[in-house]
C-alpha cells in the first residue's frame, strides 16, 4: 500500500462529538478532493444542523469540569499533543499537501508553525493572572480575576489547515473553554487527524468537538444563535466575517475575526535589493499566494522598479509547477477552479489597463487547478488587482516617486492585516511603523507569523489577536470584585 493510501485510511472519517467518533445524521457523506489531480481522496461524514446541536450540547456539558481542571493539567495535555504532532509531523505534512495542494516542504513548515501554538499555549495556560489592591479611597479592596469565556465555536479556512486550527484550539483549551470546531469543507482531514491526536493526548470527552460539513451556513447559524454559546472565533474572508458578525450581534457574542488582507510590500530606493527580492518571493509565493498575509501589491520606488521587476521575474520563471508531493515542486495547485478564474481575470484586467506581463499569465491545462506563477509590472491605478485579495501566484508591481505617495497607495484599501517594508534607513523604517495602517509589519523581513506574536489586523482585516501573550485573553473574561476594607 502506498504511503498516501495508508495515511488517508488512518484519518478518521467521522464526526467527533462528546468523545465519540460517529457518522453524520442519516449517514450523509462528503468527498474530499486532491486539487492537484481533481480526484477524490477520502469520503467523510457530512454534518447536519442536528449534528451541530449535538456538538454544542457536548461542549456545554463538558465545560464546567474542564474550566475547573487545574491549568497545569490543561497545559500538560496541550504539551503532550505538541509532542504527538511532532512525532507525526510527516503524516500531517503529507495530509495537508494531499488535501490542500501546498508543496511538501511548505507543509512541513506549517506543521512546525502550527504545532508551536500547542506548545506556546501549554506554557501560557499557567500564566493567567489577576490583581488585588486597595481602591483609591482606601475604603475597600479591588480584585480582578479572569475566567474562561465558556463554550466556543471555531470556524477555520482551507489555506492553513493545521495552523488555523491550533491557533484557536490551543488558547481556548488553555483558558478552560470547550470548543466546537468547523474546518472548511475543502480541507477537513487535517482537523480530524488533529482531533485524534488530542484524544490520544488524553482530552476529556466533549472538550473538543469536530463538525465536518458541506453546508457550513446551515450548520453554523443555529450554533451561533444558541444562547449557550459564548464565543465565536472565525478565520476566513471579510465577506463571510461580516455576515457572521451580524449573526453574533443577536446574542452579543464575544468574537475574534481574522479576515482578509491586501498587504502592501514597499521597496524604497535605498533598499538592499537582494534582500527585497528574497523577501518578495517568500511574501508572495508561500502557500501558492493563498495566504491572508500574502503580499498583494508591490509598491516599488521608480528608480529601482525595473531592476526589481527583472530580478523577481528571473526567479519566478525558474519555479517548478506541479503536484506538491513531487520533488522540486515550488508551486502547487490553487484550491479550485474558482481560484484559477479569479487570478486569471485579475491578470487580464491589469493587462487591459496597461500593465506589462513579464511571465506567466495563464492557467495550466488540467487535471488539477494550476495557474502559472506570474509577474506584472507598471500596474495602473484603478486596476482591480490593487483592491482585490489575489489569493494566487501573481506578483503585481506599482511604481512610486515619493514616500508620501507610497504611504497613500499602501493605505488605500479597506484591509489592514500586514505590510512589508524594505529600506536601509532606520528613520524611514520608524516612520513606516507610525504611518502604515496594518496590525503587523515585516521590516526587511518577508514572513512575520510566529506563535509568540500577536497576529491580527486593523480596519476590515479583523478583530482580536491570535498568538502571543494576547492570544489567551480572547478566551478569558475579566471580573472585578469589590470587598470592604478589611481593617
CA–centroid distance for 164 within its chain: 4
Partner residues linked to 459 by β-bridges? 415
For position 237 contacting ligand NAP by CB under 6 A, the verdict is yes
Q: Which residues have a Cβ under 8 Å from the Cβ of 78 and sit 6 or more positions away? A: 118, 119, 121, 122, 125, 170, 173, 174, 201
CA dist 199 → 184, 194, 195, 204, 220 (Å): 21, 9, 6, 8, 24
* DSSP per-residue codes, 69-90: S-HHHHHHHHHHHHHHHHHTHH
For position 476 contacting ligand NAP by CB under 6 A, the verdict is no
- Closest approach of ligand NAP to the CB of residue 257, in Å: 8
Given candidates 236, 264, 322, 373, which one binds ligand NAP under the rule CB under 6 A?
Answer: 236
Residue of closest CB approach to ligand NAP: 236
Exposure string of 19-33, with b = 16+ CB inside 10 Å and e = fewer, is eebebbbeeeebebb
Given candidates 12, 101, 261, 464, which one binds ligand NAP under the rule CB under 6 A?
Answer: 261
Q: Which is nearer to ligand NAP, 305 or 463 (CB)?
A: 463
Residues 442-461 that bind ligand NAP (CB under 6 A): 457
Helix axes 89-100, 71-87, angle to 10 degrees: 70
Given candidates 161, 176, 260, 464, which one binds ligand NAP under the rule CB under 6 A?
Answer: 260
For position 155 contacting ligand NAP by CB under 6 A, the verdict is yes
Q: Give the integer Cα–Cα distance in Å for 463 and 456.
A: 7
Across 35-150, the runs of DSSP E, i.e. the strands, are 39-45, 131-134, 140-148
Given candidates 130, 202, 217, 318, which one binds ligand NAP under the rule CB under 6 A?
Answer: 217
Question: 152 catalytic, yes or no?
Answer: no
- Closest approach of ligand NAP to the CB of residue 125, in Å: 22
- Closest approach of ligand NAP to the CB of residue 372, in Å: 21
Residues 263-292 that bind ligand NAP (CB under 6 A): 292
Map residue 102 onto helix, strand or coil.
coil
CA–centroid distance for 302 within its chain: 33
**Pattern 394-433, binding to ligand NAP, x per CB under 6 A?**
-----------------------x----------------
Given candidates 16, 66, 92, 158, which one binds ligand NAP under the rule CB under 6 A?
Answer: 158
Which residues are catalytically annotated? 258, 292
**Chain contacts with ligand NAP (rule: CB under 6 A):** 155-160, 164, 182, 184-185, 216-217, 220, 235-237, 240, 243-244, 258-261, 292, 389, 417, 457, 462
Amino acid at each position: 500500500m502506498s504511503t498516501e493510501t495508508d495515511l488517508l485510511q488512518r484519518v478518521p472519517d467521522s464526526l467527533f462529538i462528546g468523545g465519540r467518533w460517529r457518522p453524520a445524521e442519516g449517514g450523509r457523506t462528503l468527498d474530499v478532493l486532491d486539487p492537484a489531480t481533481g480526484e477524490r481522496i477520502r469520503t467523510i461524514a457530512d454534518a447536519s444542523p442536528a449534528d451541530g446541536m449535538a456538538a454544542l450540547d457536548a461542549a456545554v456539558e463538558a465545560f464546567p469540569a474542564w474550566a475547573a481542571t487545574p491549568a497545569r493539567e490543561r497545559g500538560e495535555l496541550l504539551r503532550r499533543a505538541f509532542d504527538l504532532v511532532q512525532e507525526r509531523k510527516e503524516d500531517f505534512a503529507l495530509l495537508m499537501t494531499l488535501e490542500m495542494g501546498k508543496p511538501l516542504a511548505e507543509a512541513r513548515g506549517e506543521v512546525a508553525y502550527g504545532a508551536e501554538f500547542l506548545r506556546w499555549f501549554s506554557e501560557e495556560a499557567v500564566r493567567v493572572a489577576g490583581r488585588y489592591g486597595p481602591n483609591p479611597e482606601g475604603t475597600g479592596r479591588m480584585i480582578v480575576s479572569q475566567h474562561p469565556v465558556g463554550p466556543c465555536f471555531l470556524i477555520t479556512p482551507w489555506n492553513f489547515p493545521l495552523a488555523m486550527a491550533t491557533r484557536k484550539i490551543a488558547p481556548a483549551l488553555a483558558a478552560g473553554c470547550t470548543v466546537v470546531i468547523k474546518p472548511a469543507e475543502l480541507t477537513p482531514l487535517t482537523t480530524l487527524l488533529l482531533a485524534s491526536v488530542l484524544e490520544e493526548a488524553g482530552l476529556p470527552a466533549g472538550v473538543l468537538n469536530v463538525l465536518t460539513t458541506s453546508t457550513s451556513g446551515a450548520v453554523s447559524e443555529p450554533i451561533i444563535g444558541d444562547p449557550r454559546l459564548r464565543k465565536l472565533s472565525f478565520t476566513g474572508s471579510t465577506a463571510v466575517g461580516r455576515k457572521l458578525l451580524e449573526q453574533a450581534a443577536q446574542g452579543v457574542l464575544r468574537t475574534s475575526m481574522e479576515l482578509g488582507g491586501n498587504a502592501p510590500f514597499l521597496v524604497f530606493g535605498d533598499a538592499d535589493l537582494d534582500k527585497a527580492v528574497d523577501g518578495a518571493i517568500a511574501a508572495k509565493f508561500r502557500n501558492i499566494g493563498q495566504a491572508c498575509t500574502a503580499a498583494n501589491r508591490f509598491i516599488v520606488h521608480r528608480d529601482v522598479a525595473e531592476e526589481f521587476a527583472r530580478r523577481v521575474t528571473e526567479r519566478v520563471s525558474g519555479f517548478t509547477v506541479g503536484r506538491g508531493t513531487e520533488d522540486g515542486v515550488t508551486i502547487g495547485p490553487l484550491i479550485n477552479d474558482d481560484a484559477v478564474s479569479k487570478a486569471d481575470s485579475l491578470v487580464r484586467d491589469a493587462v487591459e489597463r496597461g500593465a506589462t506581463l513579464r511571465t506567466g499569465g495563464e492557467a495550466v491545462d488540467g487535471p488539477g487547478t494550476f495557474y502559472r506563477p506570474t509577474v506584472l509590472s507598471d500596474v495602473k491605478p484603478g486596476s482591480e488587482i490593487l483592491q482585490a485579495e489575489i489569493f494566487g501566484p501573481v506578483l503585481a508591481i506599482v511604481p512610486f516617486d515619493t514616500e508620501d505617495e507610497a504611504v497613500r497607495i499602501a493605505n488605500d484599501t479597506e484591509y489592514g492585516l500586514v505590510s512589508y517594508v524594505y529600506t536601509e534607513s532606520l528613520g524611514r523604517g520608524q516612520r513606516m511603523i507610525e504611518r502604515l495602517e496594518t496590525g503587523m509589519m515585516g521590516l526587511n523581513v518577508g514572513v512575520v507569523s510566529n506563535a509568540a506574536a500577536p497576529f491580527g489586523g486593523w480596519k476590515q482585516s479583523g478583530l482580536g489577536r491570535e498568538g502571543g501573550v494576547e492570544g489567551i485573553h480572547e478566551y478569558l473574561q475579566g471580573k472585578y470584585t469589590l470587598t470592604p476594607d478589611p481593617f
